[in-house]
Amino acid sequence: MNRVQTCLVVAFLLPLSTESSSRASAQTLVDFREAVRSTESALMTVVVDAAHQQAEQPQGRRIEILRPDGAPLNQFRGGLPRRDIDRRPLETNSAAFAIGDSMIVAFVGDSVTSVTVQAASDDQADGKVVALDHVTGLAVIQTDLAPESGLVVSAAETEPGQPVVAAWITERGLVTDSGMVSTRPIATASGVGTTPTIDFGTGRQMTGAPVIDATGIVVGVLVPSHTGGLVCVRSTHLLRLIESATGDTPKDLKRGLIGIQFEGGGPLVQQVSPDSAAQQAGIAAGDLIRRVGPTSIRDSQEVVAAVADARAGETLEITVVRGDQTITLPVTLQEHPDQRIARHRPTDGTLPLQQAFELRDGQLVPLEIDPDADPFPPGIRRFPMEDLFRNFQVPGGDLQTPGGPFWRTPRPDDGQDDGKDLERSDVEKTLKELQRQMEQLNQQLGTERD
């Protein structure tokens, strides 16, 4: 296979002194060519196959929503059932890079034990997952295919204005994309904690690709965000995962849970969950969170991001204002019951997994819809529209008489029947009937046990 090597030179304008700016403009070149050359030998690809997943079949009762006539909403007339729900994941590919000692780092997207590692030379070998970070989805993988020397990971944070480049290997060879760090690590809804914003040139980056500076040092890794797209995981998170994987007893890093709810978008604690980490630490409803560790807090999103930066079992120093007192409380995070990892959109253009829920012990538990299932039952596109409208019946009415689903009343201004208004009493009847059915469903869920 012929490999295409991409050499990249990025020019950045630097401000001149007042004395020289009137005479000419100068440029300082940031040359990534040497950094890319030194990085290329450490780049590879990881394939996570569906057969490697540790999936379990979902158990428990499922919430069903009924039509007004009592038929399940998830079943079309004619007996076409909803597809079964499964947790089989899609095959995913991730960029990977070596870190030395036959270890590589890649995004795996689920709890897996083994993967397939592919080098730029097309050589393949099995890889064993040593440690997984359930927040970022990154894993340290042991494989004989990794080179003896790997990339160096920075212990420093990125800075706004810092030029960087992402690099990865595809079937075409080496691919790079340059960018510039535009913010310090900030709180977003990414789900992986505080992340810096990087403005890339093309937007074609690959999941798992290392982000390196001009010296070839890794300053971050690209992973999927819970809200879509890719975000840059900070190198400090990567170092924590490497430390866990290379320790005497390697272990996974789990998402932490503090157990508080907020009032609106502010950091005012509205409710504290019973037996949660927050309650055990002494946090109470009405407390105003001002600081989490070294991070000053302005809104609830920053609290969520600060907790996502930590892991289960770690202790955060949380400062709250209670009345006229300022109190600092140590909070040891519990393990979050939902350890799902965000998945990236597959490179073959298929859609990501959809979400579904089932009821277990009075709580909604997230599931994932079978990716092989057709979202539309066979023949749905041939379903006659007239029959579709006929299937929706307002309780107590029909199509020909007042109170029917499409019974129209004259407008008071022109006396004409324009077909846009329903009798108020019929709408109220419909709402009451739907409410009655939902109450009946709730009673059924409360009395029946699997």
CATH number at residue 315: 2.30.42.10
Q: Are 216 and 263 part of one and the same domain? A: no
Q: Are 243 and 311 part of one and the same domain? A: no
Q: Strand, helix or coil at 3? A: coil
**Model pLDDT, residue 117:** 92
pLDDT at 84 over 80: no
**Model pLDDT, residue 345:** 55
Residues 119-157: pLDDT tens digits? 888 889 999 999 999 999 999 999 998 887 899 999 999
Q: Are 119 and 132 part of one and the same domain? A: yes
Please report whether residue 85 resides in a domain.
no
What confidence category does residue 350 fall into, taking pLDDT thresholds of 50, 70 and 90? very low
**Model pLDDT, residue 424:** 56
- Tell me which of 308, 335, 362 is where a domain ends: 335
Q: From CA 447, how far away is CA 3, in angstroms rounded?
A: 64
Which comes out higher in pLDDT, residue 137 or 49?
137
pLDDT, the chain, mean = 76
- Tell me which of 253, 282, 317 is where a domain ends: 253
Which comes out higher in pLDDT, residue 357 or 271?
271
What confidence category does residue 291 fall into, taking pLDDT thresholds of 50, 70 and 90? very high
Please report whether residue 260 resides in a domain.
yes
Please report whether residue 376 resides in a domain.
no
Q: Are 131 and 202 part of one and the same domain? A: yes
pLDDT at 112 over 80: yes
Residues 360-414: pLDDT tens digits? 665 555 555 555 555 544 544 444 555 555 555 545 444 445 444 444 444 444 4
Residues 299-309: pLDDT tens digits? 999 999 999 99
**Model pLDDT, residue 104:** 95
Q: Are 171 and 231 part of one and the same domain? A: yes
pLDDT at 65 over 50: yes
**Model pLDDT, residue 254:** 94
Q: In the predicted model, what is the mean pLDDT of residues 170-199? A: 92
Please report whether residue 352 resides in a domain.
no
Q: Are 128 and 43 part of one and the same domain? A: yes
Q: Are 245 and 295 part of one and the same domain? A: no
Q: Strand, helix or coil at 130? A: strand
- Tell me which of 335, 355, 385 is where a domain ends: 335
Q: Are 209 and 288 part of one and the same domain? A: no
Q: From CA 440, how far away is CA 446, in angstroms rounded?
A: 10
What is the domain extent for residue 210?
1-53+90-253
Q: Are 306 and 173 part of one and the same domain? A: no
What confidence category does residue 39 fall into, taking pLDDT thresholds of 50, 70 and 90? very high
pLDDT at 83 over 50: no
CATH number at residue 219: 2.40.10.120
What confidence category does residue 447 fall into, taking pLDDT thresholds of 50, 70 and 90? low
Please report whether residue 69 resides in a domain.
no
* Rounded-to-10 torsion of CA 301, 304, 305, 309: 170
**Model pLDDT, residue 148:** 78
200 — alpha (psi -120 to 50), left (phi > 0) or beta? Answer: beta
What order of strands is seen across the sheet that includes strand 325-332?
A: 295-296, 288-292, 315-322, 325-332
pLDDT at 333 over 70: yes
Q: Are 135 and 162 part of one and the same domain? A: yes
Please report whether residue 388 resides in a domain.
no
* Rounded-to-10 torsion of CA 224, 227, 233, 237: -110
Residues 212-257: pLDDT tens digits? 999 999 999 999 998 888 999 999 999 999 999 998 999 999 999 9
Q: Are 284 and 211 part of one and the same domain? A: no
pLDDT at 60 over 70: no
**Model pLDDT, residue 189:** 87
Q: Beta strand 173-181 with 163-170: parallel, antiparallel or unpaired?
A: antiparallel
pLDDT at 356 over 80: no
pLDDT at 2 over 60: no
pLDDT at 292 over 90: yes
Please report whether residue 312 resides in a domain.
yes
| C-alpha of 268 from chain center | 25
Instruction: Name the domain count of the chain.
Output: 3
Please report whether residue 71 resides in a domain.
no
Strands (E), 133-214: 138-142, 163-170, 173-181, 198-200, 210-212
Identify the bridge partners of residue 186 per DSSP, sorted by sequence position: 195
pLDDT at 313 over 70: yes
pLDDT at 1 over 50: no
Query: What does DSSP assign to residue 153?
Result: B
Residues 410-434: pLDDT tens digits? 444 444 444 444 455 666 677 777 7
Q: Are 157 and 24 part of one and the same domain? A: yes
pLDDT at 329 over 90: yes
